[in-house]
């Protein structure tokens, strides 16, 4: 079997068996949009369920769900409207397109803040040449919008909006509700799974770069003075870590999460903790641990909102692909939303262990004197007096207002106040650690790593060695013949197991028994239950294990108990 075509065989199988296939195909298809078919949708649901369970099982993280349509103002505050509207310049001689701000790199302190016309004039005044063909003629810079715009309101005059490029903003919007839910105590987190939208220039590589995709994001809100972290010592695997090439550490380092955190390779303990938990999740759903690595972003590739970011990359048919990003978003989002919205609900209270005593000495304006004397300027003068930090040693002294007005302040106009207060705590903007998962990319790699071809002949025998956590059906029930009562017995069993919560069975009576095993193996059903002649005599069935084809015989009642308890494995 030529290994170079494994990718083709895997994608063909995925289409044929209804796992993942191009969308809208009878209308020619649309690049970057895919469907999950009947088998794929079940796998996807189980991956997402496993993800939600993984993060919410500690009690400090809850699930939320917010709209995909997002008002423009939210995305202006988050920085996406600015960042997602990069100006692009096209070379008139070879039609190559470049980001305008990259072309004028070094010619301006902050090229990414410039408008189209400023970029154009910078390009022409510096005679920037095309990196591709050395031509010097450029078309006007045009904005490239990577978000899908829409309008809220069916008639004219609606509000401008975009399809969300990430689910994170919805969780920031819900911060006040989360803060109340968690009894106003950090740390806590929220997860959200759902669709995100990016109008990619050129979607590529099957389901790797999509225009509409499934994401799963976790926002963990912490006090920046604290770095909450679980027991890293429980993760003893050595992990491949590739630190920022612009930093002190070079090349690939193999280390445990605990060591990496202690040595300062992973600076933030909470980031290290989520990296470990991410590794734990990925291996649990069937990603090969040898094909996982973490790569730190260089400062230059960091998203606009992040101060540190580690990508989790997975090795598959498309080489190393970024599947999870674990970013320290600091207070960027909450602070920016506070600024843009005027809300004061995006903060958290930090209680001091011991109240701080503060002594405040200041001047208090005597308005009965100041008022009649300064009339309309009295208010401004009173404020200025209260805000004086250095109290002048003698009277009279002069205060200069913003407009240049000079007021002479005499002893009678003020009184000296000495105040002693206990401060019990302070308000601050929480920081956010965000693990963001690309669900489609993860599903791809789960399938890639499970796709085992080990046929002896040319044709190849395919087994999808999916973990029970993500398999599309838990078991396949196969009547050896659909007659003599075997079919009825099988359907009875099917109905019985189908009432068990979380269990989905398949029933298949067409074709030879070998063919039916093969069909079940190909989509990763872990157990095949065969109803045969003996079943009719003594009520026993055979249970076949997908990964080694071993079979045991057991009474159907006993089997159903094992299905219920998820202990089929113990039969082997």
Residues that bind RNA (CB under 7 A): 8, 11-12, 15-16, 22, 28-32, 80, 83-84, 86, 94-99, 102, 132, 144, 146, 165-166, 196, 198, 200-206, 209, 301-304, 318, 455, 459-462, 480-482, 510-515, 517-519, 522, 530, 532, 534, 542, 544, 549, 551
Q: DSSP string spanning 402-423? A: TTS-EEEE-GGGEEEEEEEEEE
Question: Considering beta carbons, is residue 60 or 482 the nearer one to RNA?
Answer: 482
Instruction: Give 248 or 459: the residue with its C-beta nearer to RNA.
Output: 459
For residue 464, the minimal CB distance to RNA (Å) is 10
Report, in Å, the least distance between residue 79 CB and RNA: 7
Packing angle between helix 6-16 and helix 439-450, nearest 10 degrees?
A: 110
| Buried-state track 449-482, b at ≥16 Cβ within 10 A, e below 16 | bbbeeeeeeeeeebbbebbeebbbbbbbbbbbee
Three-state SS string across 122-134, please? HHHHCCCCCCCCC
Residue 85 · residue 145 · CB < 8 Å: yes
Minimum CB separation from RNA for residue 143, in Å?
A: 12
As measured in angstroms, the least distance from the Cβ of 331 to RNA is 17
Q: Quick one: which of 538, 537, 567, 570 has its CA closest to 555?
A: 538
Nearest approach, Cβ of residue 498 and RNA (Å): 20
Cis-peptide into 187, omega within 30 deg: yes
Q: Which is nearer to RNA, 69 or 303 (CB)?
A: 303
Q: Give whichever of 33 and 401 is closer to RNA, judged by the CB atom.
A: 33
Minimum CB distance to RNA smaller for 129 or for 283: 129
CB of 132 to RNA, least distance (A): 6
For RNA, give the closer residue by CB, 5 or 180. 5
**Residue closer to RNA (CB basis): 260 or 528:** 528
Task: Please tell me what DSSP assigns to residue 307.
Answer: S
Q: Which stretch of DSSP H or E encloses residue 445? A: helix 439-450
Minimum CB–partner distance for residue 493 and RNA (Å): 13
Instruction: Indicate the residue among 258 and 540 with the shorter CB distance to RNA.
Output: 540
Residue pair 522/539 in contact (Cβ under 8 Å)? The answer is no
Sign for the pseudo-dihedral over CA of 122, 127, 133, 139: positive
Beta bridge partners of 34: 22
| Whether 141 contacts 88, CB under 8 Å | yes
CB-based contact 54:324 (threshold 8 Å): no
> Closest distance between RNA and the C-beta of residue 201, in Å?
5
Cα 97 from Cα 142, distance rounded (Å): 10
Provide, rounded to whole angstroms, the least separation between the CB of residue 525 and RNA. Answer: 12
SS (H, E, C) 241-304: EECCCCCCCCCCEEECHHHHHHCCCCCCHHHHHHHHHHHHHHHHCCCCHHHEEEEECCHHHCCC
First to last CA, the chain: 32
94 vs 339 by CB, closer to RNA: 94
H helix runs in 115-205, sequence order: 116-125, 168-173, 175-181
Q: Which is nearer to RNA, 29 or 158 (CB)?
A: 29
Q: How far is the CB of 205 from RNA (least distance, A)?
A: 5
């Amino acid at each position: 079997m030529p290994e170079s075509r494994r990718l083709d065989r895997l994608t063909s199988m995925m289409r044929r068996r209804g796992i993942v296939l191009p969308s809208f195909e009878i209308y020619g298809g649309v690049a970057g949009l895919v469907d999950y078919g009947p088998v794929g949708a079940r796998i996807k649901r189980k991956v997402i369920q496993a993800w939600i369970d993984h993060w919410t099982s500690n009690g400090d993280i809850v699930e939320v769900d917010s709209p995909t349509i997002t008002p423009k103002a939210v995305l202006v505050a988050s920085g996406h409207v600015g960042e997602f509207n990069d100006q692009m310049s096209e070379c008139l001689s070879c039609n190559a397109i470049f980001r305008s701000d990259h072309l004028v790199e070094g010619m301006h302190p902050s090229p990414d803040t410039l408008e189209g016309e400023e970029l154009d004039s910078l390009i022409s005044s510096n005679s920037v040449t095309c990196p591709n063909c050395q031509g010097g003629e450029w078309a006007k810079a045009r904005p490239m919008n990577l978000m899908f715009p829409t309008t809220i309101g069916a008639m004219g005059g609606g509000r401008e909006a975009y399809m969300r490029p990430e689910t994170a903003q919805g969780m920031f919007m819900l911060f006040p509700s989360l803060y109340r839910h968690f009894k106003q105590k950090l740390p806590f987190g929220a997860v959200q799974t759902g669709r995100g939208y990016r109008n990619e220039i050129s979607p590529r590589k099957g389901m790797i770069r999509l225009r509409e995709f499934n994401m799963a994001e976790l926002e963990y809100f912490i006090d920046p003075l604290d770095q909450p972290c679980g027991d890293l010592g429980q993760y003893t695997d050595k992990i491949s870590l590739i630190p920022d090439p612009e930093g002190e550490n070079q090349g690939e380092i193999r280390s445990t999460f605990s060591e990496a955190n202690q040595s300062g390779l992973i600076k933030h303990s909470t980031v290290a903790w989520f990296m470990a938990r991410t590794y734990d999740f990925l291996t649990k759903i069937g990603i090969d641990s040898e094909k996982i690595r973490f790569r730190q972003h260089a400062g230059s590739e960091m998203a606009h909102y992040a101060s540190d970011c580690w990508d989790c990359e997975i090795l598959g048919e498309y080489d190393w692909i970024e599947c999870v990003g674990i970013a320290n978003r600091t207070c960027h989002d909450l602070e920016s939303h506070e600024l843009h919205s005027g809300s004061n609900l995006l903060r958290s209270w930090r209680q001091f262990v011991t109240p701080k005593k503060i002594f405040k000495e200041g001047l208090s304006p005597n308005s009965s004197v100041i008022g009649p004397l300064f009339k309309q300027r009295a208010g401004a003068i009173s404020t200025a007096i209260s805000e004086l930090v250095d109290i002048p040693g003698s009277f009279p002294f002069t205060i200069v207002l913003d407009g240049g007005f000079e007021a002479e302040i005499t002893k009678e106009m003020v009184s000296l106040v000495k105040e002693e207060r206990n401060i019990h705590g302070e308000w601050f903007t929480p920081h956010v650690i965000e693990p963001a998962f690309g669900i489609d990319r993860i599903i791809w790699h789960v399938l890639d790593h499970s796709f085992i071809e080990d046929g002896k002949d040319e044709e190849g025998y395919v087994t999808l060695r999916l973990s029970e956590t993500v398999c599309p059906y838990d078991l396949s029930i196969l009547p050896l013949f659909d007659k003599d009562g075997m079919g009825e017995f099988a359907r009875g069993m099917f109905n019985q197991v189908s009432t068990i919560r979380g269990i989905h069975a398949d029933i298949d009576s067409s074709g030879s028994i070998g063919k039916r095993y093969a069909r079940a193996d190909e989509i990763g059903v872990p157990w095949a239950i065969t109803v045969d002649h003996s079943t009719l005599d003594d009520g026993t069935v055979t249970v076949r294990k997908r990964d080694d084809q071993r079979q045991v015989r057991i009474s159907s009642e006993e089997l159903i108990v094992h299905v219920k308890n998820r202990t089929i494995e113990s039969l082997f």
